[in-house]
Amino acid sequence: MKKFAVLLYPNFSLQEITCLTSALTVWFGVEMDFLATERKIYRSEEGLQAIPDKITAEVNITDYDCVILPGTITPLPALFDAKLMDFLRGGIGSDVVYAAISSAPLLLSKAGVLCGRKFKAGYFMQMADLFTFVEKENFLHKGIVEDGNVITGIGIFFREFAEAVLRRFGYEVDEHFMRKKPEDYSEDDLTFYWSEKDYQEFLDELKEYSPAGET
């Protein structure tokens, strides 16, 4: 089983990665850790509070097959987090897949992961002019870019980003991934039943909450 990690930092974007994380965990049963450099509450840009499962000092990046970096509307705290940079550098030269969306490729640039690699990012181009570690000649104006073990993309193409990562690891998704419309479904399509086994498991679980069988 492949092992994935998601990095947390201030104002990380859930919206940009949840198509990917949901498909991995719910559809394909993938094990996933949420990592950060400190054991504290991190607030997403949507306002949700999250606590990491582990801190980066407790693991090696090479413990994972893929590390997912969400974008952030305020990248400077992560950009100047020396512990985060060290963690990212730990995978250079390995087979770890870096999957970074929106502003997150800026972090990979500073860590040296994007050295000599083509990439896409969703940050303002003044950042590419300001920070000398950004290799502007390798910046491609495309939605999703894959170069070696690095997958980068712009936030508005979060579905395509998810598809690229899923396909990299052999998880099958069709051309309608996360894009189906309500009118494409019949009444039967939208009526759901458990299997007998799954229904019995639910009834057994229900007993834990309602010993007397009350419903």
Is 187 among the domain residues? no
Phi, psi of 99 (to 5 degrees): -120, 105
Q: Establish if 54 belongs to a structural domain.
A: yes
Centroid of chain to Cα 130: 27
Q: Is residue 132, in this structure, part of any structural domain at all?
A: yes
Give the per-residue pLDDT at 214.
Answer: 66
Q: Assess whether pLDDT exceeds 70 at residue 212.
A: no
Instruction: Output the domain CATH number for residue 33.
Output: 3.40.50.880
Summarised one tens digit per residue, pLDDT across range 113-168 is 999 999 999 998 999 999 999 999 999 999 999 999 999 999 999 999 999 999 99
Residue 193 lies in a domain: no
What integer pLDDT is reported at residue 211 of this predicted model?
73
Q: Provide the residue range defining the domain that includes 54.
A: 3-181
Q: What are the b/e assignments for 193-204, b being 16+ CB within 10 Å?
A: eeeeeeeeeeee
Token pair, residue 185, equals: 């479904």
How much is the pLDDT for 117? 97
Q: How far apart are CA 132 and CA 78, in angstroms?
A: 17
Number of independent structural domains in the chain: 1
Task: Say if 111 falls within a structural domain.
Answer: yes
Per the domain annotation, does 118 fall within a domain?
A: yes
Asked, for residue 186, whether it belongs to a domain, the answer is: no
Where is average pLDDT lowest: 24-28, 75-79, 178-182? Answer: 178-182
- Using the predicted structure, report yes or no on whether residue 215 has a pLDDT greater than 70: no
pTM beyond 0.75, yes or no: yes
